[in-house]
């Protein structure tokens, strides 16, 4: 199996964050670099996914693709209990 190419760069962190990173790496029995790289990968994936969802929503809005009043009432009714009648 061929190894993926990697890029090395420097990241400046507050001392407190670096200390937390070191403690976490020690508990996971991993290197600081591994834990930092994993955190960056997770962040990039999460942010990319969120931005894609936002962009899709904006595209729907641009097309005028909105929920109808009936659609909205159905969703609200699913999560909000109707007032109890006496």
Give the domain extent around 34: 15-79
Q: What is the pLDDT of residue 65?
A: 87
Q: Based on the structure, what is the number of domains in the chain?
A: 1
| pTM tops 0.75, yes or no | no
Residues 6+ apart with CB under 8 A from 13: 21
Q: Does a structural domain hold residue 35? A: yes
Is 67 part of a structural domain of the chain?
yes
The verdict on residue 64 lying in a domain is: yes
Radius of gyration from C-alpha coordinates of the chain: 23
Taking only the tens place, the pLDDT of each residue in 27-82 is: 999 999 999 999 999 999 999 999 999 999 999 989 988 888 898 899 898 888 76
Tell me if 73 is assigned to some domain: yes
Residue 1 pLDDT: 77
């Amino acid at each position: 199996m061929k190894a993926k190419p990697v890029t090395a760069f420097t990241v400046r962190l507050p001392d407190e964050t670096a200390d937390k990173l070191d403690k976490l790496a020690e508990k996971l029995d991993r290197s600081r670099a591994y834990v930092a790289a994993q955190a960056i990968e997770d962040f990039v994936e999460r942010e990319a996914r969120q931005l894609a969802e936002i962009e899709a929503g904006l595209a729907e809005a641009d097309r005028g693709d909105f929920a109808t009043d009936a659609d909205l009432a159905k969703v609200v009714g699913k999560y909000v209990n109707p007032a109890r009648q006496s």
